[in-house]
Chain A
Amino acid sequence: MTTADDNIDYMTDSRAIAVGENLPGCKKRDPIVVADNVTRNFGGISAVDVEHLEIPRHKITALIGPNGAGKTTLFNLLTGFDTPNSGAWTFEGNNIAGVSSYKVARMGMVRTFQLTKVMGKLTVMENMRLGAANQPGERLSRALFKNIWGGREREITKQADGLLEKFKLDAKKDDYAASLSGGQRKLLEMARSLMVRPKLVMLDEPMAGVNPALTQSLLDHIKNLKAEGMTVLFVEHDMNMVRHIADWVVVMAEGRIVAEGPPGEVMKDPAVIDAYLGAHHDVDLGDAQGIRELEAELEADEESIVGTEDAGIIAPEVVEARLEEEEGK
């Protein structure tokens, strides 16, 4: 079932991701992670209740959903940072339910955290080096002898230099990681996870707190991960980002998977709009034109109070008067 055709360009691969219809829990042509009946309860509240989920290989999958939908909990469960009440899942065909988190990471499934975790009192470069796998010097028996681990150290330093340059952190490499801004820490954490040379990168809100000028380059980095043959799964609230880079979107609400599909399709799904985006998510409320469109729509909506006596300060007359005043300025 793995792709035998190695010379395929993952960036332009347009074969269907799902086998059959794009329904919640649908089968994928080539899944890297397959999860079944994963549940996690916190004192009676079901945080995660996923019947079946497959993450497509060599694709960028976005995991979206409202706050408290169980996205991060699912991340924790899949990577061994939390123990589920039930469930089984495989990574590249190996059963990894109940496997400790560090072993999961060694297999090539590496995650980042929503609340960024950098080693503050290590330099940026040391943070990066720490990420690298297969370091002979990390064994106590060899740590004393630099001639054993010096070679590998030079290799990973070179690898780290390359990554830091890509993520525009090269100027900071000798500074303590604690001196970085919140956005830079996000970048460092992501770059560090790439030092492991993972097969699947799981990014928990990679864009949160990153300044807009950097967002674009970060988007490109994530896209490039795919070109390098990695699979990406990320949690994100920014719909623009999801639209731009995701090949596949999985929507969670109240612990369950409510929809799946390519981004364009998913965002029109009534279940998704209801659970997450809100009815008028594509209206730009930043300008008068958008607000007028919204009003017209709401007046036609029977459930809306706009256009009835109860409208109060959101009645069209009131809003329009204010808009005209603003435009007149």
Chain B
Amino acid sequence: MDFGNILSLALGEIVTPTTAAYALAALGLAVHFGYSGLLNFGQAGFMAVGAYGFAISTLTFKVPFVVGFLIALLCAVIFGLLLGVPTLRLRADYLAIVTIAAAEIIRYIVTTNTLFRVTGSADGLSSFQREFDSFNPFPAGTYIFGWSNREFYVRVVSWVIVILCAVIVWLLMRSPWGRVLKGIREDENAVRSLGKNVYAYKMQALVIGGILGALAGLLFTLPRGSVQPANYATELTFFLWTVLLLGGMSTVLGPIVGAMIFWVVLSLTQNVLAGLIESGAITFLSIVQAGQLRFILVGVALMLLMVFRPQGVFGNKKELAFA
């Protein structure tokens, strides 16, 4: 087993565009749940809306990149409003039910064969990233960890977006606007009694978190150059929740570092198990089974985390003392 290789593969995961996408989507969840108390179990739906919004407008309507990008965000805003209008006046649990269902509805719609020419059904869509690639300022060659110029480009773009969004979320949450959201998380009737329009604040939070989700969807698909419905299933949402809980719910850095830890651990377990199987140390598992075992380990890790460090890596222990 080549530990050096395993380690460098794991460290490489820290900055992949997928990690950035997870970080951004989990940041959206932090805005929803960590700061506003909105139980969104459909973040995968927001990601899918962003990804398909961009892919369909680029391929079917042939719009330029910037327009497609804006359409993707606009779709997320509309999706957020659609979910929020009927549910935000109700108790928190209703939003959870509606979001999980809505995310599945999105996935089933893009999978239907009737829409094959627009959504590509189960095959998904591809080659919508050409214009995005044409913006690549880096000349061909190898960069830092032996990345090609495209790999380097997508990493730079992804993390610039993540950092920008993190700064914006941080600025918002230290403002009086963020204070109202945190108040709503604690007790919305009390906030109402102080003259704040709780419904409008919840809607704003839902839409902002959703926009972050849609951006994450773009970061997830643009580097791949393809979008497939199978990528946006419910388990994606729950991975994002794992990331959020791992890092700490009401923090800005939490979701980002949480995403890094999540992918490093996945990569480590995968490669260590694969190495052990290849070297004959483990005989009762196949490589495929090992791939599934690591998700079981993620579940176990999450349970241990909840028991021993429930506030996450960056969470404030004091806050939990009163949970």
Structural contact, B183 and A119, CB atoms closer than 8 A: yes
One digit per residue, 1 when the CB lies within 8 angstroms of any chain B CB and 0 when it does not, for chain A 98-123 equals 00111101100011110001111110
Chain B residue numbers with a CB within 8 Å of A111 are 193
| A143 is an interface residue with CB less than 8 A from chain B | yes
Contact B186 A196 (CB under 8 A): no
If A143-B172, A193-B194 touch, whether A113 touches B189 (CB-CB below 8 Å) is: yes
Distance in Å: Cβ of B257 to nearest Cβ of chain A: 21
Number of interface residues of A (CB under 8 A): 42
Interface string of B141-184 (1 = CB under 8 A from A): 00000000000000000000000000010011001111110110
Task: From known contacts A126-B179, A178-B322, infer whether A143 and B195 are also in contact, taking CB-CB under 8 Å.
Answer: no
- Contact among B182, B189, B322 with A81 in the assembled complex (CB-CB below 8 Å): B189
Of B99-107, B108-116, B196-204, B235-243, the segment with at least 4 beta carbons within 8 Å of chain A is B196-204
A143 to chain B, nearest CB (A): 4
B182 pairs with A121, CB closer than 8 A: yes
Query: In the bound complex, how far is the Cα of B195 from the Cα of A110, in angstroms?
Result: 8
- Are B192 and A102 closer than 8 Å at their CB atoms? yes
Pairwise interchain contact A144-B171, C-beta atoms closer than 8 A: yes
Closest-CB distance, B25 to chain A (whole angstroms): 21
Contact of B177 among A112, A121, A140 (CB under 8 A): A140
Nearest 10 CB-CB pairings of A with B: A178-B322, A137-B176, A143-B177, A105-B195, A119-B186, A117-B190, A143-B175, A106-B195, A117-B187, A138-B176
Beyond contacts A121-B319, A137-B176, A143-B178: 12 other A-B pairs, Cβ-Cβ < 8 A, are A101-B189, A110-B193, A110-B194, A121-B186, A126-B179, A130-B180, A130-B183, A138-B196, A143-B171, A143-B176, A193-B193, A195-B194
Task: Judge if A184 is at the interface, Cβ distance under 8 Å.
Answer: no
Q: Which residue of A lies closest to B319 (CB)?
A: A121
Cα distance A137–B197 in the bound complex, in angstroms? 14
- In the bound complex, residues from chain B placing their C-beta under 8 Å from that of A100 are 197
Nearest Cβ on chain B to A180's Cβ, whole angstroms: 10
Q: Report if A146 contacts B (CB, 8 A).
A: yes
In the bound complex, do residue B194 and residue A130 qualify as a contact, i.e. CB atoms below 8 Å apart? Answer: yes
Contact among A110, A122, A195 for B186, CB-based, below 8 A: A122
Considering the complex, which residues of chain B in the window 256-300 have a beta carbon less than 8 Å from any beta carbon of chain A?
Answer: none
Cα–Cα distance between A179 and B172 once the two chains are bound (Å): 26
Q: Which residues of B contact A (CB under 8 A)?
A: 168, 171-172, 175-180, 182-183, 185-187, 189-198, 204, 250, 318-319, 321-322
Contact residues in B for A121 (Cβ distance below 8 Å)? 182, 185-186, 250, 319, 322
**Chain B interface SS verdict (over half):** helix
Asked whether A137 and B183 contact (CB < 8 A) given A105-B193, A106-B195, the answer is no
Q: A103 to B197, alpha carbons, bound, how many Å? A: 8
* Chain B residues closer than 8 Å to A138, beta-carbon distance: 176-177, 179-180, 196
User: With an 8 A cutoff between CB atoms, is A79 at the interface?
Assistant: yes
Q: How far is the CB of A175 from chain B (nearest CB, A)?
A: 9
Can you identify 15 A-B contacts, CB atoms within 8 angstroms?
A: A102-B195, A105-B192, A110-B194, A113-B193, A119-B186, A119-B191, A122-B179, A126-B179, A126-B182, A138-B177, A138-B180, A143-B172, A143-B178, A149-B176, A196-B194
Expressed in whole angstroms, the Cα–Cα distance for A103 and B321 within the complex equals: 34
A120 pairs with B322, CB closer than 8 A: yes
Question: Given A120-B186, A144-B168 in contact, is the A79-B175 Cβ separation under 8 Å?
Answer: no
Which residue of chain A has the shortest Cβ distance to B171 in the bound complex? A144
- Chain B residues with CB under 8 Å of A144's CB are 168, 171-172, 175
Inter-subunit contact A179/B322 (CB<8 Å): yes
Q: Which of B179, B180, B198: most chain A Cβ within 10 A?
A: B179
* Nearest Cβ on chain A to B176's Cβ, whole angstroms: 4
In the complex, A118→B176 CA distance in Å?
A: 17
**Residue contact B175 to A146, C-beta cutoff 8 Å:** yes
A140 to B182, CA, bound (A): 14
- Which of B175, B191, B318 makes the CB contact (< 8 A) with A176? B318
A268 at the B interface (CB under 8 A): no
Q: State whether the Cβ of A254 lies closer than 8 Å to any Cβ in chain B.
A: no
CA distance in complex: A105, B318 (Å): 32
Pair A137/B192 contact, Cβ less than 8 Å:
no
Does A71 count as interface, using CB distance less than 8 angstroms? no
Contacts of B179 in A (CB 8 A): 122, 126, 129-130, 138
Among residues of B, the one whose C-beta sits closest to the C-beta of A175 is: B318
A102: B residues at CB distance < 8 A:
192-198
Q: Report the minimum CB–CB distance from B170 to chain A (whole Å).
A: 10
Closest residue to A138 on the B side, CB-wise? B176
**CB proximity to B under 8 Å, residues A110-158:** 110-113, 117-122, 126-127, 129-131, 133, 135, 137-140, 143-144, 146, 149, 153
B176 touches A135 (CB 8 A): yes
Q: Is the CB of B182 within 8 A of A79?
A: no
Q: Is the CB of A119 within 8 A of B193?
A: no
B-side contacts of A101, CB under 8 Å: 189, 192-193
Give the chain A neighbours of B189 by CB distance below 8 A.
Answer: 81, 101, 113, 117
